[in-house]
A and B are shown apart, each in its own frame.
Chain A
Amino acid sequence: MGKVFAVLVTLITLISIAFFVMHTWWLPPNISTTGKAVDHQLEETLIGTGVLFLAGQLMLGCFAWMASGKTKDTRAKRFPGGATSVVVTAIVVVGIEIFTLTFVGSKAWGAIYLTPAEPGALRVDVQAEQFAFYFRYPGPDGQFGGLHPDKIDDGSGNYFGLDPANDVAARDDIVVGSLVVPVNRPIALSLHSKDVGHSFYVRELRMQEDFVPGLDIPLHFTATQVGKYEIVCTQLCGLGHYNMKAYLEVMSEPDYEQWLKTQAGQ
């Protein structure tokens, strides 16, 4: 029985590792300038943890095999070298790994979340609410109108709470349900929520950031590939959470300008 277990453990380990090595279920291609560092970090994490996983499981298989001799004499009774040395080694190795990953990873994380957006970045305001995302562009005047939560009226399409009657800057603001951006241009988002906590997650950008009611949270990125990608909410936000999504449409510069013109005319 012990030998069957040893063989099974080894097989399961090797097959699981093979799926990772062959990239059977893998991430979609990265489309952001900062995504490479995230992928690199993920790769290092997977290699580090993968090697430890492989070593640990193979050792488990070996010990199970050794402890399953038919007679008392052929059966190993204790860890070779004693349990203490194995536990100490494991703690030291795993500890070093976690420290290294944190140290290396904090640089990649900081480059994405702790740096300001480039000065010329295209600003887009994002409002999350149960259960949709809305995006606001400043319009031809380049100025965002002020926000007045008491003016929010979904029925008339005033998702942000603009006051165009008294606020000239708000009159040409463009409010849409999809995030449309030009390719290869820095984008600076400002995330805020109307009601509860939500999250902005785009797999292809390798980015995830929370919306917190009451806070304006900045997030910036540069998309490098034209296409349509899904933005999903990854904070459980209520009944319709499963259905809370929008699309990120990355367009060529002329297509984007054309889109903007059409929207401004509406």
Chain B
Amino acid sequence: MNRKLLCLLPAAAVIFYAVKAGAGAPIPPPAGGTISGKVTYTGTPPKMKPIDMSKEPTCAKQHTTPVMTENVTTGPDSSLQYVVVYISEGDPGGAASTETVRYDQRGCQYLPHVLPMQAGQVLQIFNDDQTSHNIHPLAKVNPEWNKSQPAGSLPIDTKYDKPEFIPVKCNIHPWMHGYFVVLNTSHYAVTGPDGSFSLKGLPAGKYTVTAWQEQYGTQTQEVTIGSTETKTANFTFKALPY
């Protein structure tokens, strides 16, 4: 019985890859190890509060349910969203990715709420709304600026050269709030609604993995990984209701 199954496995693999190839170019599995895991909380997190956008009707009508505050965004099974997990030590770094990072102002919200990027990577900021925005990243290590972006403006092209956690606000809509997370590494991820993350393509080595949550700060773990190994690193933050 077991042998029969074992014999069937290669056949199943062939069919699987054939189907995948038929559906499109197969994505080669990234070389290197993977660190994945889940970020959760213990305790009672603050309630997410609805945001009243009635003063900006063009934004309000884009949302069927009210947009909630996102400083602590929780999901099912005590998961925490918008936590940046990255390699803080062990990655020699290197040239910034040539890929442009995109940040949107849509429905009077910053999308995504937390945007990680590499130092030196080009950042493009769009205003997709029918109203003016004034984006103001409150950088302390990097140069600080704020720019008005009326409806229909061209995107703002910029970049940050030094690693920093930069709160972003809109000088026109006080509820708009987000973060630029400028990192030295290209190995980073933001947790999804289920709190999960995955750092792929890591060369074998010893790493310090850091998880950063805008309200609860950082946590670190040491992880040693082989060249094709997958390891789990879970993080738990202590949540306070206020």
CA distance A129 to B170 in the complex (A): 13
Residues in A whose Cβ lies below 8 Å from that of B169: 154-155
A176–B55 contact, CB under 8 A? no
Partner of A131, one of B49, B52, B172: B172
CA distance A164 to B240 in the complex (A): 11
Binding stretch for chain A, among B11-19, B173-181, B204-212: B173-181
Q: Do A246 and B242 contact each other (CB < 8 Å), given the known contacts A240-B132, A240-B172? A: no
Residues in A whose Cβ lies below 8 Å from that of B55: 132, 177, 243-247
Is B31 interfacial (CB 8 A cutoff)? no
A132–B173 contact, CB under 8 A? yes
Closest B residue by C-beta to A232: B55
B197-219 interface bits toward A, Cβ cutoff 8 Å, 1 = contact, 0 = none: 00000000000000000110000
Size of the chain B interface, CB-CB below 8 angstroms = 31
A120-135 interface bits toward B, Cβ cutoff 8 Å, 1 = contact, 0 = none: 0000000001111000
Is A165 interfacial (CB 8 A cutoff)? yes
B172–A157 contact, CB under 8 A? no
B31-74 interface bits toward A, Cβ cutoff 8 Å, 1 = contact, 0 = none: 00000000000000011011111111000000000000111100
Closest B residue by C-beta to A129: B174
Size of the chain A interface, CB-CB below 8 angstroms = 26
B174–A243 contact, CB under 8 A? no
Closest B residue by C-beta to A244: B55
Residues in A whose Cβ lies below 8 Å from that of B69: 155-157
Residues in B whose Cβ lies below 8 Å from that of A129: 174
A231 to chain B, nearest CB (A): 9
Partner of A266, one of B47, B72, B173: B47
Q: Do A157 and B242 contact each other (CB < 8 Å), given the known contacts A239-B148, A240-B134, A247-B55? A: no
Is A137 interfacial (CB 8 A cutoff)? no
Is A159 interfacial (CB 8 A cutoff)? yes
Q: Do A266 and B50 contact each other (CB < 8 Å), given the known contacts A132-B55, A154-B177, A240-B172? A: yes
Residues in A whose Cβ lies below 8 Å from that of B47: 266
A4 to chain B, nearest CB (A): 47
Is A178 interfacial (CB 8 A cutoff)? yes
Q: Do A247 and B134 contact each other (CB < 8 Å), given the known contacts A154-B169, A155-B69, A157-B175? A: no
Partner of A155, one of B71, B131, B172, B240: B71
Residues in B whose Cβ lies below 8 Å from that of A163: 242
Is B186 interfacial (CB 8 A cutoff)? no
CA distance A129 to B171 in the complex (A): 10
B174–A154 contact, CB under 8 A? yes
Partner of B215, one of A154, A156, A164: A156
CA distance A175 to B50 in the complex (A): 10
Is B192 interfacial (CB 8 A cutoff)? no
Task: Identify the B interface with A (CB < 8 A).
Answer: 46-47, 49-56, 69-72, 131-132, 134, 148, 167, 169, 171-175, 177, 214-215, 240-242
Task: Identify the A interface with B (CB < 8 A).
Answer: 129-132, 153-157, 159, 163-165, 171, 175-178, 239-240, 243-247, 266
Instruction: List 29 A-B residue pairs with CB atoms under 8 Å apart, sorted by A's residue number.
Output: A129-B174, A130-B171, A130-B172, A131-B173, A131-B174, A132-B174, A132-B175, A153-B71, A154-B169, A154-B174, A154-B177, A155-B71, A155-B167, A156-B71, A157-B51, A157-B69, A159-B174, A163-B242, A165-B240, A178-B52, A178-B54, A239-B134, A239-B148, A239-B171, A245-B55, A246-B54, A246-B55, A266-B47, A266-B50
Q: Top 7 closest A-B pairs, CB basis?
A: A177-B52, A155-B177, A240-B172, A165-B242, A157-B49, A164-B242, A156-B71
